[in-house]
Amino acid sequence: MALVYQLALTQIKGIGNALAKQLIDHCGNAEEVFRSSKKQLMCIPGIGNRVAENILHKEVMDSVEKEMTFIDRHKINVLFWTESSYPNRLKQCVDAPILLYFKGDTNLQTKKIISIVGTRNASDYGKRICNELVGSFAKDEVLVVSGLAHGIDSFAHQACLENNISTIGVLGHGLDRIYPAANRRLAMDMLKNGGLLTEYPSGTNPDRQNFPSRNRIIAGLADVTIVVEANIKGGALITAEIANAYNRDVCAFPGDINRITSSGCNHLIKTHRAHLISSANDLAYLMNWELMDNNNQGKQLSLEITLNVEEKEVYDIVKENGPISIDALSYKVNRSQSKLAVLLLALEMKGVLIALPGKMYRIP
């Protein structure tokens, strides 16, 4: 029953992801949103007369019933904002979808998740980078995310399949179709070790405006976004900019200064929007993944160092979790990253915390 109301909430006219989350915060869950009176609804900031009427009339229930049938028939997992199945990394992004449709078999909370993006007009150089980069993760627990588009996306997904690495394709349409159609076989193979993910219900066409929107999911699911080969304009650079806005790491492979498909990567590096990498070893160093795999315990806090209540809370969480990202830490202490940065700096100055590459922190 809960799923019915969760689906309905996403299909009410005038309600986007931000307003849907606000409704959940005020009412407790999706079902209670629809059980609220008009007076109660209009007391919620952002809810006017028309939106309240749309909620109360429940005109979307017919389409919800069709979607439920589609979900059941195709064994699709629905991941709702308030549930533990919703990807933790994406939940930390302010504009994350309130609901996701997922078909496949993989762990969306994998320890290491990377997004690989790039041009649709990939060269042999781009394909070689994809193969070498992905191949280097063959013995590691890594999930690779991309967009199932022609070019770099497809090469990255295919390299994952060849190396038995889980890979997710984020779609700009419903799960009732595959776009581009030429990637249908690739998409079906990905369901065996990975899957397909979208915020769009069945029946949604692959319209142009959907793809920049889906790029925020590609960036938000991952610890780091890697731009392999890209023009200075296009979806790959949009994804990189979104990742930067999320305070996630961005890496780029440099390319020939005279090649248009390298202009985007070179621009990101030149303007300090991406780390320059030339191999998986560079990526591992920047992300501090070797240290993350080393479960050394932090040293005992000196009795001579005095921490206030907030500092002690942050210190204890870092000590308990080992190397931890600022995103994960912000989520655990329920503080904005700007406020958390002040506390982290104070702890660094007191010598009880160390900042690592990849926006990670650990105890000395």
Query: Domains of the chain, with CATH numbers?
Result: 2-74 (1.10.150.20), 101-287 (3.40.50.450), 309-362 (1.10.10.10)
SS3 content of the chain, % helix, strand, coil (to 5): 45, 15, 40
Q: How many CB atoms lie within 10 A of CB 98?
A: 23
Calpha distance 292→221 (Å, rounded): 19
Helix pair angle (2-10, 61-74), 10° resolution: 120
302 secondary structure, DSSP code? P
Name the one residue in this structure whose structure tokens are 């299909």.
Answer: 11
One-letter amino acid for residue 342 of the chain: V
Q: What Å distances lie between residue 292 and 27, 188, 297, CA to CA?
A: 39, 33, 12
Calpha distance 185→131 (Å, rounded): 19
Positive or negative torsion for Cα 92, 321, 358, 121 = negative
Closest CA relative to residue 288, chosen from 318, 255, 249, 319: 249
> pLDDT of the chain along its 364 residues, tens only?
799 999 999 999 889 999 999 999 999 999 999 999 999 999 998 899 999 998 988 778 888 999 999 999 999 999 999 999 999 999 999 999 999 999 998 999 998 999 999 999 999 999 999 999 999 998 888 999 999 999 999 999 999 999 999 999 999 999 999 999 999 999 999 999 999 999 999 999 999 999 999 999 999 999 999 999 999 988 999 999 999 999 999 999 999 999 999 999 999 999 999 999 999 999 998 888 864 444 444 444 443 467 888 888 988 998 888 788 888 888 888 888 888 888 888 888 888 888 887 778 888 7
Calpha distance 306→248 (Å, rounded): 31
Calpha distance 288→281 (Å, rounded): 10
Q: Is 102 helix (H, G, I), strand (E, B) or coil?
A: strand
